[in-house]
Amino acid sequence: MSETKTQGSGAATVDAPGENTVEVTFLPEGKTVTFEHGKLPYKDHGKEESLLDVALNFGVHLDHACGGNCACTTCHIWVKEGAELISEMDDDEADKLDMAADLQLNSRLGCQAVINKPGKVVVEIPAWNRNYVSETH
């Protein structure tokens, strides 16, 4: 019993979930969030639709001591999957990352790494960053 859908020419269909969907999983918490690419409300920190912006939108704690201005390393994350969907690193970000603890090949600054395409991204927040969580006073 298949359902046939007629699509008028030129009519945009929004039926297919996933087509323009971004899915981001934050490890080690394992929290997965989804949103439509390009439609994320901006939370005023970091670049729009950056991984920091995503975290702030969904209540995932990602430290951002400089307010997302590429001036610290507290938003350091490791991109485990979906790096090809994320903006390339510029020199400023690379310079800052050089000072980050636990630097890895997949290290990025969450406030500078912007999701450019829909798809699946998995990032890990380093333990030393997560440990900042409890004292925000």
The HSE-up count of residue 123 (CA atoms within 13 Å, CB side) is 32
Does 82 participate in binding ligand FES (rule CB under 6 A)? no
How buried is residue 88: exposed, middle or buried, by Cβ count under 10 Å (0-12/13-18/19+)?
A: exposed
Residue 111 interacting with ligand FES (CB under 6 A) = yes
- The residue among 19 and 98 lying less far from ligand FES, judged by its C-beta, is 98
Task: Detail the DSSP E strand segments found in the chain.
Answer: 21-27, 31-36, 76-81, 107-109, 119-124
| Tokens 């790096």 -> residue | 83
Give the nearer residue to ligand FES in terms of CB position, either 72 or 79.
Answer: 72
Query: Binding of ligand FES at residue 94 (CB under 6 A)?
Result: no
Shortest reach from residue 47's CB to ligand FES, in Å:
9
Strands 21-27 and 119-124: parallel
Residue 109, interface with ligand FES (CB under 6 A)?
yes
Site string for ligand FES, 37-76 (x = CB under 6 A): ---------------------------xxx-x-xxx-xx-
Q: Comparing C-alpha atoms, which of 131, 81, 133, 91 is closest to residue 112?
A: 91
Interface residues toward ligand FES, by CB under 6 A: 64-66, 68, 70-72, 74-75, 96, 109-111
